[in-house]
Structure 1
Amino acid sequence: MASEHEGRTQPETDSTAEDSGIHWDSIIRNTALIIVLLVLLWLAFNVRLPSADSLQQMIASWGWAAWLVFIGTYALVALTPIPVTVMAVTGGLLFGTLEGSILSMIGVFIGCWGAYWIARGLGKQATARLLGSHYRTAERHLNQAGFQAVVMLRLLPGFPYWPVNYGSGAFGVSQRDFLLASALAIIPGQVSLVAIGSFISNPNVANGVVVGIGWAVVLVMTWWAYRRWTIVKDQSPKPAND
């Protein structure tokens, strides 16, 4: 009788342990979601970046470490819904067009990559809640063609960086496509914004030309990316009719 009782107890114990493991995994995931949601919502509604001039003074006060502070700050901003425009302009004010563009691209790239992996960890359902009104747009485009869609959304005027970052992680865009598309697409926009800051700090023809060329390249690349995405979408298999 004792052995029969032990035989019945062991599977029940294993089942309880498995249930407990699944339960804790769910708790950790939901807790992470709540924390990320609260932080991002709080930042979006309560935090406003200082003006470019104020940021310039604050970052410059770090002396030789100013470039490290700038990259770190930019990466943190890129993780949130806060627009990155002010950071790029500040890069131009502080470091000029060339150095400011390089540092800006490093900072925004790190932040975008971090957001991608946060979304991968949270999963599709959790990230859908995080994206809110941007969810449908990200789902519609990023479920079609990873590389082309990331490039197009990165270059799309008025569409923020952060839904692309989190949407790419949630909807299965490969890390390779995400990184290559992001590296390609952020260059013209970042350079043109940094050049604006550099032009404000040191108005000259060279900086004005960089601004003009930068935005011209943005428009051309947006058109190219949209055309490529349309071709891939048209070539994708259509669902069978019932």
Structure 2
Amino acid sequence: MCEAVGVQRPVLRLAGLVVFLGALGLLTAFFLPVSVEGLQSQMQRFGLLAGPVFIVTAAVLALVFVPGPLLSAAGGAMFGTGLGFACSLASSTLTSVLALLTARRAGGGAVEEIGGERTRALTDLARRHGTVAVVVQRLIPGVPDAPLSYAFGVIGLRTYQIALGTLIGSAPRAFAYTALGDAAVSGDATLAVVATGVGAAVSVLGLGLGWWLTRRNRHRSTDEVTPPR
């Protein structure tokens, strides 16, 4: 009986986290419309403090699954490519750390407790290569960052791993979307072409790197997970 209760607790913690995040995403989608123009009008009232306020505001919005590209584009529209890029990257890093710490507190260790030896080995492998895993995930197109940041917290990545991985992996895409936001306001066609080119190149790089690492580590992961006979 005690053993069954011990297993149920991590399951309930993990299930509770998943349900909470799912409900949060639905509430954001239906009741928290966010637009570039709306963020601009809200940030203008802060004057010289608009940059720091935007970093914190965008980080909180990303935690509740407001799309990162929209937030980066807003940064570019408000501050230009240079400052907007710095603010967007700082905000993305802050979001990743906050998501990791939240998930670690709510569901940290649950995967290991309810999983078997193979799950524990895979989790350990992810921890040892945490920074690389985050970089690759940030580079792959179409994969939202916030849900994966929560997942990284559940499996136990360290704070420095997700922060460093986000700084490296999110930088190219943050630049692309920030520059597009700047170009949309300034009408700079050259900047728009450069931003589009960077975004396309990052997508190709992310897909290629993800495919290569998966292929390269497939046999290695199998060897590490398989227990000695």
TM-score tier, shorter chain, comes to 0.7 to 0.9
Contact 1:96 1:198 in 2 (8 A): yes
Which of residues 108, 111, 123 in structure 1 aligns to 2:95? 111
Q: 1:38 to 1:158 in 2, by over 3 A?
A: closer
1:165 aligns with 2:149: yes
Secondary structure at 2:143 match in 1? coil
Q: In the TM superposition, what is the alpha-carbon distance from 1:36 to its structure 2 partner?
A: 4.9
Distance change >3 Å, CA 233–CA 207, structure 1 → 2: same
List gaps (5 residues or longer) in structure 1.
Answer: 1-21, 128-138
Which string of whole-angstrom CA distances, capped at 9 and with x for unpartnered residues, describes residues 59-104 of structure 1?
A: 1122122112211111101212221222111111100001100001
Conserved? CA contact 1:189–1:214, under 8 Å: yes
- The match for 2:24 is 40
1:234 aligns with 2:219: yes
Q: TM-score, normalised by structure 1?
A: 0.71
One-letter amino acid matched to 1:196: L
3-state SS in 2 of match to 1:46: helix
**Contact conserved, 1:145 with 1:233, CA < 8 A, in 2?**
no
2:198 is aligned with 1:218: no
Larger radius of gyration: 1
Alignment of 1:80-229 (within 5 A): 80-124=64-108, 145-222=129-206, 223-229=208-214
What one-letter code is carried by the residue in structure 2 that aligns with 1:87? L
Whose relative contact order is higher, 1 or 2, with alpha carbons under 8 Å and at least 6 apart? 2
Per the TM alignment, residue 42 of structure 1 is displaced from its structure 2 partner at its CA by 5.5
Alpha-carbon distance in structure 2 between the residues aligned to 1:208 and 1:108: 22
Q: Contact (CA 8 Å) 1:91, 1:103: kept in 2 or not?
A: yes
Distance 2:215 2:166 in 1: 19
Structure 2: gaps spanning 5 or more residues: 1-5, 112-122
Does the 8 A contact of 2:109 with 2:155 survive in 1? no
